[in-house]
Amino acid sequence: QKEVEQNSGPLSVPEGAIASLNCTYSDRGSQSFFWYRQYSGKSPELIMFIYSNGDKEDGRFTAQLNKASQYVSLLIRDSQPSDSATYLCAVERTYKYIFGTGTRLKVLA
């Protein structure tokens, strides 16, 4: 079992819709959880992080964490074609970061 698992996609959503990206992790000792966006050929850029159970909102993005289910998700509201990218989930464990393989999102105009 991989430490951090994501569906590789692609996930296709129409412009203006809500995109829902999911991530599960195996280590219950994980403390912090991160979502990054990576455009092709570029390095990842941080969208947001969360470390408490529940929801955390930042603009069009909402991260949701459920430690009991070992599940973290990212919702993107009012999806735009510019949101088309690969979304990486990362988990911090003992001061280092473990990344999932990413979910490719396509927002259709």
Q: Which residues in this chain contact another protein in the complex, by CB under 8 A? A: 32, 34, 36, 42-46, 49, 51, 88, 92, 95-102
**Residue whose structure tokens are 């105009």:** 109
State which amino acid sits at residue 16: G
Q: Which amino acid is at 73?
A: S
Q: What is the rounded CA–CA span in Å between residue 54 and residue 94? A: 22
Rounded to a whole number of angstroms, the minimum distance from the CB of residue 34 to another protein is 7
If the CB atoms of residues 73 and 102 are measured against another protein, the closer one turns out to be 102
Closest to another protein by CB, 9 vs 17, is: 9
Tell me the closest approach of the beta carbon of residue 60 to another protein, in angstroms.
19
| Nearest C-alpha neighbor of 21 from the set 33, 34, 36, 11 | 11
| Minimum separation from the CB atom of position 14 to another protein (A) | 25
Our CB check for another protein shows the closer of 51 and 61 to be 51
Closest CB 16 distance from another protein, rounded Å: 29
Of 97, 48, 90, 88, give the one whose Cα is nearest residue 105.
Answer: 88
